[in-house]
Amino acid sequence: MSLSIGLTINGQPRTVALDDPRVTLLDLLRERLDLTGTKKGCDRGQCGACTVLVDGRRINSCLALAASLDGATVTTIEGLADGEALHPVQAAFIEHDGFQCGFCTPGQIMSAIGLIAEGHAGDDPERIRELMSGNICRCGAYQGITEAVLEAQKTLAERNRRDAA
């Protein structure tokens, strides 16, 4: 039995035939669509390496059945940069050394973007750490990650003010 779903992935409409309705969004992205920036860590929703945005909200793609997302908009790490221009969160991660081995970085960045978009980040580092706690960094780059979120939030707020003016 084959099921066809429609998704907008990184701004591009896609129609995907699913041979198995149990395929996760993570496996669809990595194995079928060759979008390997989203990482497979624990495959249980505990590490956050697979975090993507679905309809603007952060989710663990290893826990989401692709079949349940028909019509959704999915943003992965590959969809952030605008040509050579990095997304402000990506740039802040580099500036604040918010990564070491880099394995968790795509999920951390996607979670940070979702956190900022949700309006929950604020300027309290403890709150940011708490709200990012679903994304584990085995190397311990948490200080740089927190600083990157704080800076990116300010950059995005300034950009929004300029765009509104």
Q: What are phi and psi of 156, to 5 degrees?
A: -65, -35
| Residue 115 and residue 139 in one domain | yes
Question: Can you tell me which residue has the tokens 């066809």?
Answer: 4
d(CA 158, CA 138): 32
Q: Which of 57, 79, 101 finishes a domain?
A: 79
Residue type, 131: L
| Residue 99 and residue 66 in one domain | no
Count of domains forming the chain = 2
| Residue 99 and residue 54 in one domain | no
**Those residues with Cβ within 8 angstroms of residue 14's Cβ, 6 or more apart along the chain or in another chain:** 6, 7, 8, 33
| Residue 15 and residue 68 in one domain | yes
The CATH number of the domain holding residue 139 is 1.10.150.120
Residue type, 47: C
| Residue 73 and residue 20 in one domain | yes
Query: Domain range holding 149?
Result: 88-164
Concatenated DSSP letters for 126-165?
HHHHHHTTTS--TT--HHHHHHHHHHHHHHHHHHHHHHH-
The CATH number of the domain holding residue 55 is 3.10.20.30
Q: Which of 79, 106, 137 finishes a domain?
A: 79
Q: Which of 21, 51, 79 finishes a domain?
A: 79
| Residue 112 and residue 72 in one domain | no
**Those residues with Cβ within 8 angstroms of residue 45's Cβ, 6 or more apart along the chain or in another chain:** 60, 62, 63
| Residue 100 and residue 159 in one domain | yes
Cα distances from 61 to residues 11, 38, 82, 123, 161, in angstroms, run 18, 9, 23, 28, 32
pLDDT in tens, the chain (165 residues): 689 999 999 999 999 999 999 999 999 999 999 999 999 999 999 999 999 999 999 999 999 999 999 999 999 999 999 999 999 999 999 999 988 888 999 999 999 999 999 887 788 899 999 999 988 888 888 899 999 999 999 999 898 898 998
Report the pLDDT value the prediction gives residue 1, as an integer from 0 to 100: 66
